């Protein structure tokens, strides 16, 4: 599916055109707390309301959204007869909106997790996403994460990828420094892991390469809060999302989830903690390659990642990734022996199948000791 990217220019003219073209009269806006800081966007929403469009806000969800949150969103959407959906926020807001779209046509009321295993009924409800962080790329992927009875549910469907994305660099203006750094790291790690994934294709690698180059080009401006830097990082995150939509993530992401839950650091922070150790380890262990394209292909792939980062080869790229982490001043958590035991058995084996170099429990344990 070709995704249309629109901008905030000319006082959100593209957004107004999207509303008119789709005949939106009752718009469900799924938004997180970041909406409060979007002054220009909120002012324009007032103008949209004056044209007779009703905007129904849904904010009843948390950062790790629950299945029940989605059910409540579907109920609100039905009760208000909403004819379109806009997601405004980070990955959680966009994931909730995706699931509301996906479950919108299902029978019943969703009690007792019934929609989790139901056969999806596609709908054509217009769906636009406006990311307010430059990291997850959720607006470009066929994945959403929600939780039911304490267990993570990975929801997958091509049908709930937003066909239109509104990129407004101003949405990143007030993002706290830590979250700015962490989300940028998430985008970079998505792009790197997608490039070396066993599932990579020429198309996904092109997205990854462009995403890595865009992160490197716009990092300084983004961290210094320039409009060009913010806009560039939004595009980088979107391209990285398109890459993992094809290839999926690998061991770095498989290893980072437990770090997030144990130490409370942001997802992107945990991801670069892992990838800064994985990258140099992979350079030294290409003889353990399990990608069917072979070891020489793997060496070339790692070199290409380094080159996309502006380096001569993989070894220099691995050093540069460590340098990026160090320069950002992100903390390295300290794990206890008990936590290391918990970490080494926490890794999702499905994501390890995507990783191009063989990993066993003993190796994962050693890597975790290097990570932390």
Structure confidence at residue 1 (pLDDT) = 66
Domains 4-171 and 176-371 share a fold: no
Average pLDDT, the chain: 96
Task: Report the percent of the chain where pLDDT is more than 90.
Answer: 94
Q: What is the pLDDT of residues 86-139, one digit of tens each?
A: 999 999 999 999 999 999 999 889 999 999 999 888 889 999 999 999 999 999
Distance CA 318, CA 307 (A): 11
Strand extents, DSSP E, the chain: 4-7, 26-31, 54-58, 84-89, 127-131, 143-148, 151-156, 164-167
Q: Domain residue spans in the chain?
A: 4-171, 176-371
Confidence class for position 17, pLDDT limits 50, 70, 90: very high
pLDDT in tens, 294-353: 999 999 999 999 999 999 999 999 999 999 999 999 999 999 999 999 999 999 888 899
> Token pair for residue 74?
């579907």
Predicted local distance difference test score (pLDDT) of residue 122: 82
- How far is residue 79's CA from residue 226's CA, in Å, rounded to a whole number? 42
CA end-to-end span of the chain: 40
Joined together, the tokens standing for residue 185 give 């790291």
Q: Which two tokens stand for residue 334?
A: 């300290």
CA torsion angle 226 274 204 358 (round to 10): 170
Crossing angle, helix 314-328 and helix 267-284, to 10 degrees? 150
The 10s digit of each residue's pLDDT in 215-253 is 999 999 999 999 999 999 999 999 999 999 999 999 999
CATH 3.40.50.1970 fits 4-171, yes or no: yes
Counting beta carbons within 10 angstroms of the beta carbon of residue 347, is it exposed (0 to 12), middle (13 to 18) or buried (19 or more)? buried
The pLDDT of residue 81:
97
Q: How confident is the model at residue 28 (pLDDT cuts 50, 70, 90)?
A: very high
Instruction: Please give the torsion angle defined by the CA atoms of residues 270, 275, 278 and 279, in that order, rounded to the nearest 10 degrees.
Output: -170
Percent of the chain with pLDDT over 70: 100
Q: What is the mean pLDDT of residues 69-83?
A: 97
Q: What's the average model confidence in pLDDT over 139-161?
A: 94
Instruction: Name the least confident of 188-197, 281-290, 309-318, 340-349.
Output: 340-349
The HSE-up count of residue 103 (CA atoms within 13 Å, CB side) is 31
The sign of the dihedral angle between the CA atoms of 336, 337, 338, 339 is positive
Mean pLDDT of 276-289: 98
Q: Does domain 176-371 have CATH number 1.20.1090.10?
A: yes
pLDDT for 317 equals 98
């Amino acid at each position: 599916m070709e995704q249309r990217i629109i901008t905030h220019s000319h006082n959100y003219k593209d957004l107004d055109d999207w509303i008119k073209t789709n005949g939106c009269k009752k718009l469900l806006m799924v938004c997180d707390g970041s909406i409060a800081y979007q002054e220009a966007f909120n002012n324009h929403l007032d103008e949209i309301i004056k044209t007779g469009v009703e905007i129904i806000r849904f904010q009843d969800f948390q950062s790790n959204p629950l299945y029940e949150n989605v059910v409540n969103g579907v109920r609100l959407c039905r009760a208000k007869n909403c004819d379109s959906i806009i997601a405004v926020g980070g990955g959680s807001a966009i994931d909730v909106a995706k699931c509301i779209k996906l479950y919108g046509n299902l029978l019943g009321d969703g009690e007792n997790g019934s929609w989790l295993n139901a056969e999806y009924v596609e709908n054509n409800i217009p769906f636009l996403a406006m990311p307010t962080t430059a990291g997850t790329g959720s607006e470009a992927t066929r994945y959403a994460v929600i939780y039911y009875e304490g267990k993570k549910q990975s929801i997958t469907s091509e049908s709930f990828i937003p066909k239109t994305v509104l990129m407004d660099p101003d949405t990143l203006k007030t993002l706290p420094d830590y979250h700015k750094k962490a989300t940028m790291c998430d985008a970079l790690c998505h792009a790197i892991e997608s490039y070396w994934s066993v599932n990579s294709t020429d198309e996904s690698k092109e997205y990854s390469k462009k995403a890595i180059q865009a992160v490197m080009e716009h990092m300084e401006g983004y961290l210094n809060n320039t409009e060009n830097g913010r806009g560039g990082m939004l595009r980088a995150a979107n391209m990285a999302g398109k890459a993992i939509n094809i290839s999926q993530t690998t061991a770095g992401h498989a290893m980072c989830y437990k770090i997030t839950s144990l130490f409370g650091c942001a997802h992107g922070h945990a991801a670069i903690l892992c990838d800064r150790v994985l990258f140099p380890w992979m350079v030294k262990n290409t003889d353990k390659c399990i990608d069917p394209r072979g070891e020489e292909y793997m060496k070339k792939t790692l070199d290409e990642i380094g080159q996309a980062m502006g380096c001569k080869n993989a070894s220099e790229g691995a050093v540069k990734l460590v340098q990026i982490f160090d320069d950002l001043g992100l903390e390295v958590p300290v794990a206890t022996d008990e936590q290391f035991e918990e970490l080494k058995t926490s890794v999702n084996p499905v994501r390890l199948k995507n990783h191009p170099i063989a990993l066993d429990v003993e190796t994962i344990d050693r890597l975790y000791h290097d990570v932390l």
